[in-house]
Each structure stands twice: as C-alpha cells, then as structure tokens.
Amino acid sequence: MGTHATRLDRVLIAARRPGAEVEALEVAAIRRERGDALREESELSYLRRVLHGRIDIIDAELRRRAAGSAEPLVQSLAAILADDPPANARSPRHMDIGLLPDPDPGEYRSQMEERIDAAGPAIVLDLSDARLAEARLTLKAYEREVSEYRRIAQAVIDRFAAELARRYREGQATVDDLLNEEQKME
C-alpha cells in the first residue's frame, strides 16, 4: 500500500493480532477496529461486484462472438448484469444496506479501481478475442485478491463482534457505556 497504514492495512494487522491482545483492548478500540473492518468489507464487496460485472460482460461478448450473433451486446446488458436470487438465506451481516461504499474511497479501493480500468476497459467491442481473454484472466486474479481480503475482513468483524458479545455477556461492557461513547462523539 502507501507509506502510512491504510484502513485495509489496519484490518490485516487486526487479523494477525493474538487473542490476548484483543482481550486487552478497550471496548472503544474494539468498536473502532470492528467499524474499520465493516467499512473495508463494504468497499471490498463493492469491488467484487464491479469485477463480477466486468467479467460477466467479457464472457457475454466472447459468447456472442463465438455464436456469430449480430445482436448488439448493449441489448443484453440488463440480463448480463442481473443477479439471480440467492439460493440460500443470507447472513444478517450481508443484508446491511446502510453500509454503502464510501463516496471518498479508501486507498486500496482507489488503486484497485485504476487496476480494473487498465485491465478490462468498459468498451469491450473494440478489443480482440485475445485481448478480452487476457483482460478476463487479469480481472479474475483481481477478484481472487479482493475476495481473500474480504474473507479476512469478515473474520475480523466476526472476531471483534464475538469479543464485544463476550464482554456484554460477562458484564465487562454495558449499553450505557456505548451510549456515553456516542454522546462524547457528538
């Protein structure tokens, strides 16, 4: 990343923190680090959707060309980009629509968006089959990278949520503490 610790760097550091260190953190620090992980997971989810969309468009264009179809790709975009309904019920963690990607993206997201644009231009019609296949492979590699970071962020979220739950359960943290923290922030 850069010369300073980005939010993703902090999430990756939190993922490697020993359990004893997490247990020694103040409740406010746990909430702050969990919040960083939630924001990063949201941005990583957004990047995955962008990557999947680009890969789906490339796949559709390659199929269209292989079939010799004269139908313009733009006619099929809505169907290409539509998601099928999930086969299984989703975890409540994945249903939070309040955590949309920050309009001022983090450093990793900004860098990845530049890499995505360079690897798989949005205008696929002007590219050769070979260039489309190359772009697809590059985008798939980016998707694996983003997915791994997202998996780590989710593990950090779960870990800090479990520690907060333990503290509430054992009486080491109270709702009053949370309310007092929020009032100090206002």
CB 37 within 8 A of CB 153: yes
Q: Is residue 97 part of a domain?
A: no
Q: Is residue 157 part of a domain?
A: yes
Supply the angle between the helices 175-185 and 27-67 in degrees, to the nearest 10: 80
Q: Is residue 123 part of a domain?
A: yes
Number of separate domains in the chain: 1
Give the chain's mean pLDDT.
84
Q: Is residue 142 part of a domain?
A: yes
The whole domain housing 14 covers 7-83+105-185
pTM of the model as a whole: 0.81
Q: Is residue 124 part of a domain?
A: yes
Span 128-186, pLDDT tens digits: 899 999 999 999 999 999 999 999 999 999 999 999 999 888 888 777 666 566 556 56
What is the C-alpha to C-alpha distance for residues 16 and 159, in angstroms, rounded to an integer?
Answer: 11
Span 110-126, pLDDT tens digits: 899 999 988 866 678 77
171: left (phi over 0), alpha (psi -120 to 50) or beta: left
Distances (CA, A) of 30 to 33, 143, 156, 178: 5, 29, 10, 12
